Amino acid sequence: MVRRKIWTIIIAAAAFIGLAACGNSTAQKVFSTEITAPARLAEASEVTGCRLLGEVRGYAEPTKSGNAPLARMTARDDMLRRAGNMGATHVVLAEYVGNRRAVAIGKAYKCD
């Protein structure tokens, strides 16, 4: 039991040292308590004049029941959250890939 605690402390210390070595901004992002608002779904016509930030993907955990609509909804929500973390305000959904392990793919935009 004592060995397990020692290894846990060593691994945690190594992780903190590794984050510190990555640079101050990476460590700040990992330990930040700031919550960003998710982006919202938009039509292509709504983002004219907005700045394209890039492609964003959202992932769903596999469902045992095979509930594809639930998996897609979870993937969509994850995509919107990831886009918000990128600084996007809007996402135009391009497609869904997969059923049980759905992936939502879209383009993230920042509109002022």
pLDDT digits (tens), the chain, 112 positions: 677 777 777 776 666 665 556 555 545 554 555 567 899 999 999 999 999 999 999 999 877 777 888 889 999 999 999 999 999 999 999 999 987 789 999 999 999 8
Domains of the chain, residue spans: 1-34, 36-112
Q: Does domain 36-112 have CATH number 3.40.50.2300?
A: no
Instruction: In whole angstroms, give the CA distance from residue 18 to residue 26.
Output: 10
Q: Report the pLDDT value the prediction gives residue 85, as an integer from 0 to 100.
A: 94
Q: Please, what is the angle between helix 24-31 and helix 2-22, to 10°?
A: 130
Tokens of 32: 């930040």
Amino acid identity at 34: E
